[in-house]
Structure 1
Amino acid sequence: MDKNIATLAQLLDAAGTQWRVYDIGRRIAKIDKTTFTKIENADIPYPFPLQQHAFLAIQFWDPKASKEPYIWFLKLPLDEQSKLIQASRNHFASMVIEALGTQLTGDDQQAGQLDNNPYVFTPNANKRAAFNALMKVELNQPASIYYEHVQLYFSGKLGFDDWQSLALQGLADFVMRLDKDQNEANLITALSDIPEDVIAPLSALLEHVAISTVLAEALLHLGKQAVNNEHTSLTVHYLRAISFAPATGLTAQLIDCILVSPLGQQTDVQLTIAGRCWQHLQQPERLHLYMDLVAQNKTEPTLFAGIFADLVAISTIRPHVLALLRIENRSEQLARAIGGLFK
C-alpha cells in the first residue's frame, strides 16, 4: 500500500473524487466523513455491525466529469469489539491501487477487475433498488421509468388488485419520494386496501426511510390490527415499515404490543425486532422481556445465542445486554439460556 495512503478516505481523496459512505447492512444509513475516519482508525466501534462485518456502500465520482458515480459495496470484517480489522481494509486498498492506481474513475474495464475482490458483495434486490432510488434523489436525478406507474397504483386509479405490473425499482423510487406530489397522502389512503404482495416489498423499502409521524401512526394502527388478528407476516411487514420512524414512541408502542401477545414468541417476529428495531432494546425492561421470550423459543433452540451475539456486538446495546447476565429476577428459561452461552 502506498506509504502516503493509509485509509480508504485518503485513497478516495488522493484520486480527486467526491465521495459518500453509507451503511447498507442493517439499513441504508449515511455515515458522515468524521465518523468514517474514526471507524477507519479503529477509534470507535462500527455503529451498525452485522454478522461481525461492516457492510458499506461507498459512492464516488469525478466532479469534473458527467458520468454516473461509481459504487463499491464492501463487506469488511470487524473484531470482537466491532472495530474495523485494519489489515483487511489495507488489503482491499492495496488491491485497488494495484488494479487502478489512484485513478479510480474513468476506466470501467479496469474497475471491473475488482468484481472478484473478496471484500466486494452484492446487496439483495430490495437494498439495491432502495440505494439506487436514494442516490437519484440525492444527486437530483430523475426517477426510473417505473416510478409514474407506481404513483398511479397508489392513487387508486389502477385498482389495488393490479399489482403484478409494479416494478421493484418503481416502488423504491416512490418510497424515496414520499415528500413529492401526493405520494405520502396517497400511500396512507391506500395502506388498508393494498394486498400483502405489495406490503411485503413496500415494508422492505420503508425500513430505510425516516417516515413522517402521520405515516407512522397509520402503520401503527394497522400493525396493532395485525397483532390482534395474530397475523405473523403482516405484523413483521408493519414492524419493518415503521422501524426507522423518528417518532420512536410509535415504534416502541408496536413492539410492546407484540411482546405481550402470542406473536412475541414467533421466530420471524423475534428476528425482526433484533434486526430492525435494535435501538428500542436499549430500554432495560423491554430488552429483558424480549430476551426472555427468545429464551422460550422451542422451535429454534440456537436462536438465543445468535441474537445475543448479534446485539452484544452493537456498542449502544452491549452494556444493556451484558447487564442481563447479572440480573436476578429472571425466569428459569432465561437463566438456562444464559448459562448455555458459557458451555
Structure 2
Amino acid sequence: MSDNIATLAQLLDAAGTTWRVFDIGRRVQKIDKATFADIESTTIPYPYPLAQHALLAIQFWDPKASSEPYVWFLKMPLDEQSKLVAASRDHFANMVLEAIGTSLTGAEGEQSKLDNNPYVFTPNANKRAAFNARIKVELRQSASQYYEHAQLYLSGKLGWQDWQSVAVQGLADFAARIDHQDNEALLCQAWSQLPAQVRQPLAAQLENSELGTEAAQTLLTSINQAIQHQDKALLIDALRAISSARAVGLVEQALGQVMNSDYGQDADICQVIAGRLWAYLEAPQTLAQFLEHCCRIDTEQPLFASIFADLVAIPMLRPHVLAILRSEQRSDALSRAIGGLFSS
C-alpha cells in the first residue's frame, strides 16, 4: 500500500467516502469504527470468526452525491488467534488501488474490476436480504416493495396457505423493522400459525434482530411445545429466531430447556446452538455441559471436532474452551474426544 494508506479505513477515508462496516458471518451486526480500527491494527482478534475468516460487508458512499451506496462483501482470512491477516488486507487494498485508485465512488463499471478479486464473495440469499433490509433502516429509507405484503400475510388476513406470494426480502424487511408499528405483536399472533415454508425463512431473518420480551416469551413457549411434541423443525426455527433477543434471561431459559431435553444431544440442534447462541456458552458450566453433549453424538462427520474448532476461535469463548482442556472434572467421554483432536 502507499505510504499514506495503511488500512481499509484509511483507504475509504482517502476517497472522501462515508462508510460503515458489518459482520455478516454469524449474523448481520454492525461493527463500530473504533472496533474496526482495532481489528485492522490486530490489537484485538476478530470478534465473530467463521471458519477462520471475517465475513464483512463494507458500505460506502459519496456524501456529496445522491447515488446509492456501494458495498464490498469481503471474506478476509484470520490467523490461529482469529486476528486479521494483515498481508491479505494489504493485498486487497493494493488491488483496489491498482484497479480503480482512490475514486471509489466513480463510474459504476469501475467496481466490476473487483469481481474476480479473491477476497470478494457473494453472501447467501438470506444474508443478502437481511443486509439490504438493515441498510435501509440505517439510512432511514423506505423498505422494499415486498414489505407491506409480508406484513399483510403475517396479519393472517390473506390466509396462512397463501405463502407462495411472500418474498424473502419482505420477511427480511419485517424482521429488521420488528420494533416498528405493530410488527412484534403481529409476530406473536402469527408464529404458531405459520407454515414451515414461511416460518423457516422468517426465523433466518429474526436471528439478526433484537426481539423484545413479548416475542421472546412467545418463542420460549414455542420451544417448550416443540420439545414436548418432538417437533425438531419447529425447535430449530424458534431457537434461531430467539437467539438475538434482548430478553437475555428468556434466551438462557430456552437454551437450558433444550440442553436438558433429549434434543441436547442432537447434532443439528447442537450446530444451531454453536452457530447462533454461542454468546450463551460463556458460562463455564453451560459450555462444559454443551461439549459433554457434543462428544456423545455419533455422526458420519466429526461433529465434536468441528464444533470445538468453531468455539475455540471465538475470542469471548476461547479462554473457557481452553480451560476445559485442563479441567480434571470432565468425563471420560469428553477426555477421549479431546484426545482425539490431537491424535491425528
TM-score, scaled relative to structure 2:
0.98
Q: Counterparts of 1:112-261 in structure 2 under 5 Å?
A: 112-261=112-261
Report the secondary structure of 1:90's partner residue: helix
Post-superposition offset of 1:263: 0.9
Report the secondary structure of 2:136's partner residue: helix
Contact preservation (8 Å) 1:223, 1:238: yes
Determine the C-alpha separation between the residues in 1 that align with 2:253 and 2:197.
Answer: 25
**Worse overlay, 92-101 or 259-268:** 259-268
- Indicate the residue corresponding to 1:302 in structure 2: 302
Contact preservation (8 Å) 2:264, 2:293: yes
Post-superposition offset of 1:329: 2.5
**Worse overlay, 177-186 or 317-326:** 177-186
Contact preservation (8 Å) 1:230, 1:262: no
Report the secondary structure of 1:324's partner residue: helix
Letter in 2 for 1:310: D
- Indicate the residue corresponding to 1:280 in structure 2: 280
Determine the C-alpha separation between the residues in 2 that align with 1:115 and 1:200.
Answer: 31
Deviations for 1:276-299, whole angstroms, at most 9, x for unmatched residues? 000100111111111011000112
- Indicate the residue corresponding to 1:3 in structure 2: 3
Determine the C-alpha separation between the residues in 1 that align with 2:28 and 2:229.
Answer: 31
Post-superposition offset of 1:300: 4.1
Post-superposition offset of 1:13: 0.1
Post-superposition offset of 1:138: 1.0
- Indicate the residue corresponding to 1:78 in structure 2: 78
**Worse overlay, 215-224 or 301-310:** 301-310
Determine the C-alpha separation between the residues in 1 that align with 2:177 and 2:215.
Answer: 14
Determine the C-alpha separation between the residues in 1 that align with 2:224 and 2:124.
Answer: 29
Determine the C-alpha separation between the residues in 2 that align with 1:100 and 1:42.
Answer: 27
Contact preservation (8 Å) 2:146, 2:170: yes
Post-superposition offset of 1:194: 1.0
Letter in 2 for 1:32: D
Letter in 2 for 1:172: A
Post-superposition offset of 1:228: 1.6
Deviations for 1:128-167, whole angstroms, at most 9, x for unmatched residues? 0010011111111111111111111111110111111100
**Worse overlay, 287-296 or 230-239:** 230-239
- Indicate the residue corresponding to 2:332 in structure 1: 332
Determine the C-alpha separation between the residues in 1 that align with 2:182 and 2:45.
Answer: 40
Number of residue equivalences:
343
Report the secondary structure of 1:2's partner residue: coil
Determine the C-alpha separation between the residues in 2 that align with 1:199 and 1:293.
Answer: 27
- Indicate the residue corresponding to 1:311 in structure 2: 311
Letter in 2 for 1:87: A
Determine the C-alpha separation between the residues in 2 that align with 1:159 and 1:184.
Answer: 19
Determine the C-alpha separation between the residues in 1 that align with 2:181 and 2:281.
Answer: 36
Contact preservation (8 Å) 2:178, 2:209: no
Deviations for 1:30-72, whole angstroms, at most 9, x for unmatched residues? 0000000000000000000110000000000000110100000
Name segments (4+ residues, structure 1) moved above 6 Å: none
Determine the C-alpha separation between the residues in 2 that align with 1:235 and 1:193.
Answer: 15
Determine the C-alpha separation between the residues in 1 that align with 2:43 and 2:67.
Answer: 35
**Worse overlay, 162-171 or 224-233:** 224-233
Determine the C-alpha separation between the residues in 2 that align with 1:265 and 1:230.
Answer: 14
Determine the C-alpha separation between the residues in 2 that align with 1:8 and 1:209.
Answer: 28
Determine the C-alpha separation between the residues in 2 that align with 1:147 and 1:287.
Answer: 39
Post-superposition offset of 1:121: 0.6
Contact preservation (8 Å) 2:175, 2:206: yes
- Indicate the residue corresponding to 2:55 in structure 1: 55
Determine the C-alpha separation between the residues in 2 that align with 1:82 and 1:20.
Answer: 21
Letter in 1 for 2:212: S
5+ residue gaps, structure 1, are none
Letter in 1 for 2:235: T
Contact preservation (8 Å) 1:78, 1:85: yes
Letter in 2 for 1:302: P
Deviations for 1:152-183, whole angstroms, at most 9, x for unmatched residues? 11111101111111001111111111222222
- Indicate the residue corresponding to 1:33 in structure 2: 33
Report the secondary structure of 1:268's partner residue: helix
Post-superposition offset of 1:106: 2.2
Determine the C-alpha separation between the residues in 1 that align with 2:329 and 2:232.
Answer: 30
Post-superposition offset of 1:224: 1.2
Post-superposition offset of 1:301: 5.1
Letter in 1 for 2:71: I
